[in-house]
A and B are shown apart, each in its own frame.
Chain A
C-alpha cells in the first residue's frame, strides 16, 4: 500500500512541477483575496489586526477549495483514475496520496506566504506564530476534506461551487479553533486547548477522510 501511495504522490508532484505557474495559482489567489479586505473595510490598522486571523483562515479555506476541485479531474480525463482504482491495493492509498499532494502543493505554500501577509496586516510576532502553527495543523484537514468533496463531485457540471457548498460546513470546526487560537494568543491567554483540539481534528480527519474519499471515488466511477 505504501508503494501505491508513494507512486501516486510522486507522480502528482512531478506533474505539478511541469506546470509551475498553475501550481502557484492558489497562493496568488490567497494573497490577492487577502489584499481585497483592506480595500473593502478600510486601512485602519487596529481593525485589520483584529480581523487578520479570521480572514487569513477564510482565504486559506477558499484557496484550498478552489484548487482541490481539479484533484481528480486530470486523472479521470485520461483514464488513469480507473486504472488506479483497479489496482489490488486499497483505494485509500490513492485518496491519502492525493490529499497529501494537494497539501504539499497548496497548503504548504499558503503557510509559507502567511508571514508576509501577517506583516501586511500588522500582526504581532506571537500572533503570527500562532497563526502559522494553526495553519500547519489546519491546512491538511482542508486538503483531506477537499479531496472527499472532489471525489463526490467528480465530473459534475456544477462541480466547483457544489464542492465548496458541501465541504465548507465540515471545515468550520477547524476554522473556529485555528482562528480562535490566534485570538487567544493576542489576548495573552493560553492557546494550548485550541491547538490540542485542532490536532485531534487533524487526527480524526486523517483517519476518517481517506476511506470516505476512497468510497466516494468508487461511487463516482462506477
Chain B
C-alpha cells in the first residue's frame, strides 16, 4: 500500500501538528539561544558607546525587538483566529490562543524597558509618548482577548468571539496609533520620543536585527509548545492522545 503524498494541510490536523511541532521546538530554542548570544555580544561588546546617551541606550537591543514582536504577534494572532473562524479550523484557533500570552509578554517587556530607558534619558519613569502609549493600549487589547476567551466556557463560541475581537482590534491598531501620535504631537509635553534614538551605527542595527530574529525563534518555540499543550487539553478524549499517553507510561 502506498502512503498518500504528504500535503501541507495534513498538518492542520491537531495530531500531526503535535508531532511536527514537538520535533521543531528544540531547534527553535537552540536558535533562540544562539541568536540571542550573537546579538547581545555584538550589542554589548562591539557596538560603541553612544555620544549622548552613554551606555543606557543598549536597552534598545531588547526594547525595539520586543515592541516589533508585540505588534507582529497581534496581527498573526488575529490572522489565525480569523482563519479558524472562517474555515472552522480548530487548530488555527488553538494557535491564536497560544500566541496571546507570548504577545502580551512582549508588550509588557516593551513597556518595561521603554519606561526604564526613559528614566535616565528624560528623567521620568514614564512618558506619554506616542509609541509607549500605543503600546500600552496594545497591552489592553491583548488582555481583553485573553479575558474574553477565558470567560466563555463553550470552546467554539470562545474561539469565534475571540476571533471577532482580535480582528476588530487589529483594524483599530493603526487608528489608535495615528490618534495617539496626533495627540502626542499636539500636546508636546515630552518633546522627545522613542524615535529620537541614537543615530544608528551599523553595528547597533545589526545587533538589533539579530535580537529580533532571536525573539522570533523564541516566539515560535513558546507558541508551538503552548499550542501542543492546548491540543492535548482539548483532544484528551481522542484515540491518538490515549495512544500517546499509553506510550509514555509504558514505553
Contacts and interface: CB of A to CB of B under 8 A. Distances in A.
A157 interface: yes
A220 interface: yes
Nearest to A189: B186
A153 B151 contact: yes
Interface string B166-199: 0011011001101110110010000000000000
B164 A216 contact: yes
B176 A158 contact: no
A220 B148 CA distance: 12
Which interface residue of B143, B168, B172 has the most chain A CB atoms within 10 A? B168
A197 interface: yes
Interface residues of A, number: 28
Contacts of B140: 165, 168-169
Given A152-B164, A172-B137, A219-B157, A166 B179 contact: no
Given A157-B151, A172-B137, A212 B168 contact: yes
Contact of B176 (A152, A173, A183, A222): A173
B164 A176 contact: no
Contact of B148 (A166, A170, A173, A212): A166
Given A180-B186, A219-B157, A173 B179 contact: yes
Contact of B144 (A157, A166, A183, A184): A166
Contact of B172 (A169, A220, A222): A169
Interface of A: 148, 152-153, 156-158, 162, 165-166, 168-170, 172-173, 176-177, 180, 183-184, 197, 201, 208, 212, 215-216, 219-220, 222
30 contacts: A152-B148, A153-B148, A158-B147, A158-B151, A162-B148, A165-B140, A165-B143, A166-B147, A166-B165, A168-B140, A169-B137, A169-B144, A169-B176, A170-B168, A170-B169, A170-B172, A172-B176, A172-B179, A173-B175, A173-B176, A173-B178, A173-B179, A176-B183, A177-B179, A177-B182, A197-B182, A212-B168, A215-B164, A219-B160, A219-B161
